[in-house]
Structure formats: structure tokens, C-alpha cells
Amino acid sequence: VSNAGVGMAGPLECQSLAAMQSLMDTNFFGLVRLVKEVLPDMKRRRGGHIVVISSIMGLQGIVFNDIYSASKFAVEGFCESLVVQALRFNVAISLVEPGPVMTEFETKLYEEAERADYSRTDPETAEIFTKLYLRNSKDVFASLGQTPEDIAEHTLRVIEAAQPPFRHQTNVAYTPMAALKHADPSGALVTDAFYKLVFKYDAVLRLGLR
């Protein structure tokens, strides 16, 4: 089970390349290093199961999570490419895709975001992040967040499955979001929906979450 991960949220201009590279080294290359270690023996034994804790943000990018989403997209693409070869050797790969999870990981991330320096971006972007994004994110976590124990139970079900699924989303509230993206290959539908949700109907969103 690959579960290592670090987070990053905020305006792109305020994040250093070194921090971005460090995140990718953990979230993506950490997984790659693990798989390189375990896969050869699994192939020799012709049996095994690699379970990867991904994220719903590996399926749909979320505003102000550019680099974190990129790392999870990389995880998804890596596993999607590898799974066909792995199946030839009777090795299963499963992606567990949670939405928000209520842990110290998230608490620390948002505490750091509230204290961060946003002087490297324009005032409008800084205000959108601090006044809209952070406030809405707290409501999302309070309303839709899962516990670590819940994610562990989902992961256990994936491990014990007679035919392990390739993808397993842990929160049904995010199923329409994933479906919306696939409904329109041009991307216009989901982009328009998210734009309106963030910039036009954010008050309705917060009310609904509460």
C-alpha cells in the first residue's frame, strides 16, 4: 500500500519550484520507487496487489491545487499505463480515490495557507484564495470530509476483493464531478460548472454544504 503524500495549495506565483519538485518527489516518484522495488518479485511469483492512495484530484483538477493535482494526475497516468502489463503477470493495481479527509495533514495545510505571504501574486488572486477558496474549503471538509478510519475501511475492502477494482472512489458525493468531466470531451461543461460554482454561486454552495 502506497500512502505517502504531501499537500500544496495556493496561488501558483507564490510557490517555489523547489517546493513543487519536493512534492512531486514524494507524491509521484515515491510511488515509482516503491513499485520498482516490489513489482519484479510479484512478477516472478505471478501474484500480488499494489494499492495506491490517490485522490479525486487525480481525476479532476481543483482551483488553487495546481501542483498537488498534477502529482495525483501523474499517479493515475502511471498506474493506468502499468496496470495492463501487471495483469499479464496476475498482479493487480488499485487506485483508492478519496475526496477530503479530516486529518492533521489537511489542518496543517490550511493553517500554513492562512499565514502565507501572498505578495508575489496580484491582490485580486490573493483575495480570491484567502476569502473564497479557504472559506469554502473549510465548509467542504466539515460537510463532506471522511475520517481516516473510513478510508481505511474502503482500502481494506479493495484489498480483500476477489477481483480488485482498478479505481475505487470512497465518497459518492464526488461521483457526479467525475461523470461531468467524461460527459463532455471538450472540457467546456466541467470548466463552466466549476467557474460558476466558485465565482457566481459560492454563497449557494456554502449554504448547501451547511
DSSP string for residues in 9-30: -S-GGGS-HHHHHHHHHHHTHH
The yes-or-no answer on residue 68 being catalytic is: yes
Q: CA–CA distance from 63 to each of 44, 52, 94, 194, 195 (Å)?
A: 43, 24, 26, 9, 9
Q: Which residues contact 207 (CB under 8 A, 6 or more apart)?
A: none
DSSP string for residues in 159-171: HH-SS--SEEES-
The secondary structure element, H or E, covering residue 158 is helix 148-160
Question: Which of 68, 118, 133, 195 does the annotation list as catalytic?
Answer: 68
Instruction: Kindly state the DSSP code that residue 145 receives in the 8-state scheme.
Output: P
Helix ranges (DSSP H) in 28-103: 29-45, 66-88
**Which residues belong to the active site?**
68
